[in-house]
Structure 1
Amino acid sequence: MKNFNLVDLNSNLDVLNFLPDWVKITSVNGVVIFANKPLVNKLNFDPQGMKIDDLKTTKFKEIFSVGIHPSDFKEDDMKKSDLKYDGKVYDVLTAPIRDDFGTITAYVDIYRDMTSLKNIQNEITFKNEIMNKDLTLTKKIQESILPVDLNFGRLKVDYMYLPCEQLSGDIFDVISINKNITSAYICDVSGHGVPAAMVTVFVRETMRNLQDYHSSAYDLTELHRRFLDLRLDMSQYLTMFHVLIDTNEQTISYSNAGHNCPMFLIRQNDVIRIEMTGKPVCNYFEKIYFKEKVIRFNPGDKILLFTDGIKETQNKDGEEYGLDRVESIIRTKPNDILKTLRRSLDYFNSGVRYDDMCAVLIEFKDKGDV
């Protein structure tokens, strides 16, 4: 802090009377040289010429007991202390006043009323604590809707679920329709936090309460119809890759609602990227036509569904993880795909996630392995 020159200061003391803060200047001998009008009005007397030690014996002793003695100063620093007085909270800043030779001749104390700010800070802290408790509860609810029983007859299910915040906009589900047919999907809701989490609950309940599972394309059409009934903002949307697995016919029918990650079909000697275009579920379109295709799904085959938080995560150089790295893990670690993928992602992005990550692995087991 710049040195105060006592002569210059004396010629400008009137300026301090217009400050809302209390200001007092005390000599190194402990005598009050100056008190501005706000402080004088508070005390109902002018302490100029009085010793600090004597003032400490008055009912205003708290005011004159704060501050820092000049001997505690080093170079041109400023000290800060706190004062609670008369139901208010003050920040007290103490600075040295030096002569032209650099010798401390006095020090100035500035008392700033921080009560309103402190109250606002306390209110924000209190509301944040309530919000964090609500978020924690909502997170538990969201996690509770994830599948618990991962045994679906001849289908073996495993998953990786990594929210970038407490609440996720990613969701997946695997639903047993009958002894032969199983519905599975992975979904990415735009945004993060509470709004996205609420939409994931809507998706889950809608997909589990469809009257009939005619086809993967029909299910997406019905999801879109019910999404329109929510009347959400135009910026709110979701993408989904949906499959119906028939273990009796050994087929997968699949449709895509704007999901920009392919499904990997993993066979004993091959890895195939199953890609399909499609519009996202949103309010921009009143009607959407979803395509549907069917592929063979043989015992021993696997499929991997995942969200774009995986392929788009970046390293410190801004490089994206990409699909090739995902495929490389599938080829090199076919029996440990998700654990290897998790370790690879954490190493690649140094554990920093800016988007939710979710992946679901479904294996069609041989009858003898059930």
Structure 2
Amino acid sequence: MDIFNNKLYFTSNTEYKTFIEQIINGMYDWVRVIDIDDNIIFVNDSMSKALGKNLLGEKCYNAIGRSKPCDNCTSRKAVFEGTIQNKEEIIGEKVFSVMSSPIRDEDGRITAVVEVLRDITEMKKMQKKILEHNKKLQSELNIARKLQCSLLPKDLPRDKIDFSYVYRPCEAIGGDFLDIFKIDNDHMGIYIADVSGHGVPASMLTVFLRSSINKRTLSPAEALNQLYKEFNRDYYDQELYITVFYAIIDTKNKSIIYSNAGHNVSPILFNHESLRFDILRIPGVPISDWVDDPAYTEKIISIEKGDRLFMYTDGIVELRNTKNEQFGEERLLNILLGEKMSPAMTLDHIIDTALEFANVKNLNKIIDDITMALLEVV
């Protein structure tokens, strides 16, 4: 054998065959060649040393401690079908990935099969550990989801406000959140929030939000300023941020006072009878560490019996159809100002219309959190 211009040259076929055999014997994987009668006609050094005996001439199944051919014999299948076959095989205490490839003579007839057996025992053990870990993690996520859902608004007096909401995280736990609560006999508070990102880190900030927001003050701007300071005291090293729209409904004086911490979709106040609607736009910095003083402001708007307040996150309006068009605010408005239904039925209608628009069969196929709330002054 000579090397010339980085190429190997062999002086005889015997020298070439010896070189190929050296390559195969240098492999860590087990390699054997089996004729069409199941006899081993070649085996590399790795397999011979591992099994501790001369395997030449033995039946392929006897060599691995069996008395008859394997039920899922890939070598026979490779001969019959003329294609490469794969399987996993347990030999002793080890698991092997087996690839059987047909060998053809000059006339194209299959005369033997070469098997390559790769030890995947450690990989299978690792897969098992990962599956067990994932199962445990899923169980913990389910507990976290139940905890997060338990923090959502429950039964509230409906003598002054009727309401319904949809909360659907795209993962087991989400970064969207909303809360509706009684402040005193004449005031109801409601906020909707969206934490950047998804999963556990985002959900932890929703818990922080619920436990930290001031539910006693009658000033949404004051509540957001306090929340901003507390976030920067406890979560200053977080890359995540929270957008929050917070409104307080005065049921006695028939008004809504509201403030915004960077929530990018503005709530809609509307009335079916007058076909009036107001989009409650007001600027504000997300709950973050972006500025020293966010200086939240607030606005006030009058309401009357029959008025409805719709609050939502961007998951629903950012749904896209096959033309890459967004569902958008205008389609949302058309539904809200259309036929009057109960708050719960209206939200269901929004979801059905949005899914049809996006050609999605169900909410589980949507890749963003979807949260909406609809309140009516009664």
Whether 1:334 and 2:340 are equivalent positions in the alignment is yes
CA distance in 2, matches of 1:315, 1:141: 34
Contact 2:79–2:113 (Cα < 8 Å) also in 1: no
Give the residue type in structure 2 aligned to 1:17. Answer: N
CA distance in 2, matches of 1:72, 1:19: 23
Contact 2:82–2:110 (Cα < 8 Å) also in 1: no
How many aligned residue pairs are there? 354
Alignment-derived partner of residue 148 in structure 1: 154
| The 10-residue stretch of structure 1 (333-342 or 162-171) with the greater mean CA deviation from structure 2 | 333-342
Contact 1:220–1:257 (Cα < 8 Å) also in 2: yes
- Percent of aligned pairs with the same amino acid: 30
CA distance in 1, matches of 2:373, 2:311: 5
TM-aligned CA deviation for residue 78 of structure 1: 1.3
Counterpart among 41, 48, 51 of residue 33 in structure 1:
41
CA distance in 1, matches of 2:77, 2:293: 79
What TM-score do the two structures reach when normalised by structure 1?
Answer: 0.89
Alignment-derived partner of residue 354 in structure 2: 345
For residue 245 of structure 2, give the secondary structure of its aligned residue in structure 1. Answer: strand
Return structure 1 stretches of 4+ with deviation > 3 angstroms: 6-11, 62-72
TM-aligned CA deviation for residue 233 of structure 1: 3.7
Contact 1:150–1:158 (Cα < 8 Å) also in 2: no
Give the residue type in structure 1 aligned to 2:299. Answer: K
CA distance in 2, matches of 1:332, 1:294: 26
For residue 281 of structure 1, give the secondary structure of its aligned residue in structure 2. Answer: coil
Whether 1:51 and 2:58 are equivalent positions in the alignment is yes
| The 10-residue stretch of structure 1 (11-20 or 217-226) with the greater mean CA deviation from structure 2 | 11-20
Alignment-derived partner of residue 237 in structure 1: 241
For residue 272 of structure 1, give the secondary structure of its aligned residue in structure 2. Answer: strand
Alignment-derived partner of residue 10 in structure 2: none
Alignment-derived partner of residue 228 in structure 1: 232
TM-aligned CA deviation for residue 62 of structure 1: 4.1
TM-aligned CA deviation for residue 9 of structure 1: 6.5
Describe the shift of the 1:168–1:69 C-alpha distance in structure 2 as closer, same or farther (beyond 3 A). closer
C-alpha distance after superposition, 1:209-265 (max 9, x if no partner): x37314111011111111112224452111111111111111111101111111211
Structure 2 matches for 1:5-44, cutoff 5 A?
12-44=20-52
Describe the shift of the 1:304–1:322 C-alpha distance in structure 2 as closer, same or farther (beyond 3 A). same
Give the residue type in structure 2 aligned to 1:239. Answer: T
TM-aligned CA deviation for residue 65 of structure 1: 4.8
What TM-score do the two structures reach when normalised by structure 2?
Answer: 0.87
Counterpart among 135, 140, 151 of residue 141 in structure 2:
135
CA distance in 1, matches of 2:351, 2:261: 26
CA distance in 1, matches of 2:82, 2:18: 20
Alignment-derived partner of residue 92 in structure 2: 86
CA distance in 1, matches of 2:223, 2:328: 29
CA distance in 2, matches of 1:92, 1:63: 19
Alignment-derived partner of residue 5 in structure 2: none
Unmatched runs of 5 consecutive residues or more in structure 1: 1-5, 366-370
Give the residue type in structure 2 aligned to 1:27. Answer: D
TM-aligned CA deviation for residue 348 of structure 1: 1.8
Describe the shift of the 1:272–1:91 C-alpha distance in structure 2 as closer, same or farther (beyond 3 A). same
Alignment-derived partner of residue 4 in structure 2: none
| The 10-residue stretch of structure 1 (348-357 or 276-285) with the greater mean CA deviation from structure 2 | 348-357
TM-aligned CA deviation for residue 279 of structure 1: 0.9
Unmatched runs of 5 consecutive residues or more in structure 2: 1-12
